[in-house]
Amino acid sequence: MEFSTQTTASLHQIKTAALAVGVFSDGILSPAADVLDNASNGALRAVINAEFKAKPNTHLVLRNLAGVVATRVILVGLGKQDTYNAATHAGAELVFANYCANAGLTEGVSALASIDCGNVKLRSRAKAAAIAAGRATYRYTATVSEKTDAAPKLRKIALWVARNKANEAQQGLREGKAIANGMNLTRLLGDLPPNVCTPTYLGNTAKKLSKEFKSLKAEVLGLKQIEALKMGSFLSVARGSYEPPAFIVLKHTAGTKVAAKDRKAPIVLVGKGITFDAGGISLKPAANMDEMKYDMCGAASVLGTMRSIAELELDRDVIAIVPSCENLPSGRANKPGDIVTSMSGKTIEILNTDAEGRLVLCDALTYAERFKPAAVIDVATLTGACVVALGNVNTGLFSTDDALAEGLLQAGRETNDTAWRMPLDDAYQEQLRSNFADIANIGGPPAGAVTAACFLSRFTKSYAWAHLDIAGTAWRSGKDKGASGRPVPMLVQYLLDHA
């Protein structure tokens, strides 16, 4: 996908297959729409008054509008002007990009980013446009023999902006394109079937990324190396499957323009990589179990984020850690009542084998200590309880560090990839008490997402830490089933803010 800016003042004279302009539902035209209305001697407004209510996420296509060179004018609904915000703008850009992709167009011009949106900068609006184009052009075809859903032909999107704003818009487009590429890698890894996207496959993906981008270096530890590290908690989950586990470390090193004396401690991202989760002996219900291939979306989002920052040549050292295995029932699998010893030396009583994500993450969080990180952020489809609490809108955010938490929340708002901070009070820790080990792996039904985060917090005492529970935001069910690519936008923005 190619992105550019279009700075001609004569919007009505731009030659393109599709030109998007915004319309507010209270009868107010955006500046770009007003230009086209004047060029068409009021024909644009006449159509709007007759048949377009301009609600958010709606559009109307006008072909061969008098006085306008563009083949199609796409009127995009923005809702009421006084409630227009970053989320509405991002939705409007997605409406336009989806139209271009589904109509088989190869290019289009959007004037939507030129609309003032409170205190949302043009850079952010341009970023949203590029992310929308990436989302609109993603198609899963990896395991489909008949390519009935052909890949979109859309290859070029230009933003109409003022000439003195072109550099700012181009910066946003560059960042948005990298984020979109990372999201699409994340979506592909999530959508692949679990017999293809195995721990070995994730390891090979990290190796391929290290070959594609010179700033990345991959290391994939196998069973014997994991055993040597005494990751007894992680290995207790992995042994239930014949598929070998993989412990993936992918490092991004800032370029030489960052002097050694100016280098900051790395930021570490940890992604849960359970490539299929049957629940183990605590077997899940059969209905919708196919969606448990998405239990590695934490890993997928971390790898997608690393791809994005490598493309952007981020001036900050970042390290991704992915503990990956399957969680299956077998004669070798964990049993309720088993006690395992983690890499940290803490013993864990396994009361439910389906609470396996925390068992693999705790050893990865201990491993992260060796990098003396500035911050560690783990990403995991960890609990159904988080879905109950927050649905599919907000990612659950837990943190022991207020500055880290606020930085992630702000990055989410910036990219429309929002999170909601959840409690992490010490009082919840009592639910994890065990009579037979240092800690139990579940705390019962009350506050399930909170006690899961409390479990992880016990392994993060030596650094600033945040946990993102993406169980409700990593994928969609139903007719639109598929991975979402979240929280790549949030993570990339956070890293950009701390580069």
244 DSSP 8-state letter: P
Residue with tokens 């983690």: 342
Please report which confidence band the pLDDT of residue 257 belongs to, taking 50, 70 and 90 as the band edges: low
pLDDT above 90: percentage of residues in the chain: 95
| Terminal C-alpha separation, the chain | 26
Tens of pLDDT along 205-217?
999 999 999 999 9
Q: Which amino acid is at 287?
A: A
Q: How much is the average pLDDT of 182-205?
A: 98
The pLDDT score that the predictor gives to residue 166 is: 96
Sign of CA dihedral 47, 50, 54, 55: negative
Residue 254: what are its φ and ψ, rounded to 5°?
-60, 150
Angstrom distance (rounded) from CA 170 to CA 305? 21
Angstrom distance (rounded) from CA 443 to CA 421? 20
pLDDT above 70: percentage of residues in the chain: 98
Please name the helix (run of DSSP H) or strand (run of DSSP E) that holds residue 302, with its range, or none.
helix 297-311
Q: What is the mean pLDDT of the chain?
A: 96
Angstrom distance (rounded) from CA 58 to CA 71? 20
Tens of pLDDT along 53-102?
999 999 999 999 999 999 999 999 999 999 999 999 999 999 999 999 99
Q: In degrees to the nearest 10, what's the CA dihedral of 117, 122, 124, 130?
A: 110
User: In the chain, what are the domain boundaries?
Assistant: 2-162, 180-497
Beta strands in 315-357 (DSSP E): 318-327, 339-341, 347-349
Same fold across 2-162 and 180-497: no
Catalytic residue among 187, 358, 458, 486: 358
CB atoms within 10 A of CB 288: 10
The pLDDT score that the predictor gives to residue 149 is: 60
Task: Please enumerate in sequence order all residues whose Cβ is within 8 A of that of 402, keeping only pairs 6 or more positions apart, or say none.
Answer: none
pLDDT(327) > 90: yes
The pLDDT score that the predictor gives to residue 20 is: 98
Tens of pLDDT along 8-51?
879 999 999 999 999 999 889 999 999 999 999 999 999 999 99
The pLDDT score that the predictor gives to residue 8 is: 82
Residue with tokens 């959508």: 191
The pLDDT score that the predictor gives to residue 349 is: 98
Task: Select from 337, 383, 332, 6 the least CA-distant residue to 163.
Answer: 6
pLDDT(147) > 80: no
Task: Please enumerate in sequence order all residues whose Cβ is within 8 A of that of 405, keeping only pairs 6 or more positions apart, or say none.
Answer: 397, 399, 421, 466
- State yes or no: is 15 an active-site residue: no
pLDDT(438) > 80: yes
The pLDDT score that the predictor gives to residue 151 is: 80
CB atoms within 10 A of CB 285: 7
pLDDT(234) > 90: yes
Q: How much is the average pLDDT of 353-379?
A: 98
Tens of pLDDT along 368-425?
999 999 999 999 999 999 999 999 999 999 999 999 999 999 999 999 999 999 999 9
Catalytic residue among 284, 346, 421, 476: 284
Please list the residues that pair with 253 across neighbouring strands: none
Please give the CATH superfamily to which domain 180-497 belongs.
Zn peptidases (3.40.630.10)
Task: Select from 482, 124, 448 the least CA-distant residue to 300.
Answer: 482
Please list the residues that pair with 421 across neighbouring strands: 397
The pLDDT score that the predictor gives to residue 145 is: 85
Q: How much is the average pLDDT of 263-289?
A: 97
- State yes or no: is 433 an active-site residue: no
Q: Which of 172-186, 218-232, 257-271, 287-301 has the lowest mean pLDDT?
A: 257-271
Q: Which amino acid is at 272?
A: K
The CATH code for residues 2-162 is 3.40.220.10
The pLDDT score that the predictor gives to residue 258 is: 67
